[in-house]
Amino acid sequence: MKLKSGLLVSALLISTSSVAGDIKRGQELHDENCVSCHKSMQGGDGTGIYTRENRRIDSYQGLVKQVKRCKTSLGVSWPEHQIDDVITYLNDSFYKFKTDK
């Protein structure tokens, strides 16, 4: 029974991690594409935009919409998995919203 339980737990962990984005890659994409705009808006390292008191994003769905909006504004051609990577990075690093994923 232990072996079966261990296999089930491993399978669940693998399937869960395949749904979520890659945090490291999300940070790379964010740093390459988002930071310069955020620095011009916020100053400093630009991450203050995520932690400011009057931030616009107040839900996971709001975060998804904003990342997609910024992607379009920047004109970057991220496929869905890269959008998910950036969303996962931002949520893990700054927002901490609960997700359905």
Summarised one tens digit per residue, pLDDT across range 81-100 is 999 999 999 999 999 999 87
Domain boundaries, given as residue ranges, for the chain = 2-95
| 6 — pLDDT class (breaks 50, 70, 90) | very low
Query: Is the CB of residue 16 less than 8 Å from the CB of residue 76?
Result: no
The pTM of this model reads 0.78
Tokens 């107040």 belong to which residue?
Answer: 58
Report the alpha-carbon distance of residue 8 to residue 90 in Å, rounded. 30
Report the alpha-carbon distance of residue 33 to residue 76 in Å, rounded. 8
pLDDT at res. 96: 96
Counting beta carbons within 10 angstroms of the beta carbon of residue 67, is it exposed (0 to 12), middle (13 to 18) or buried (19 or more)?
buried
Summarised one tens digit per residue, pLDDT across range 11-68 is 444 433 344 899 999 999 999 999 999 999 888 888 899 988 888 899 999 999 999 9
What sign does the CA torsion over 60, 62, 67, 71 have? Answer: positive
Query: Is the CB of residue 59 less than 8 Å from the CB of residue 51?
Result: no
- 70 pLDDT higher than 80: yes
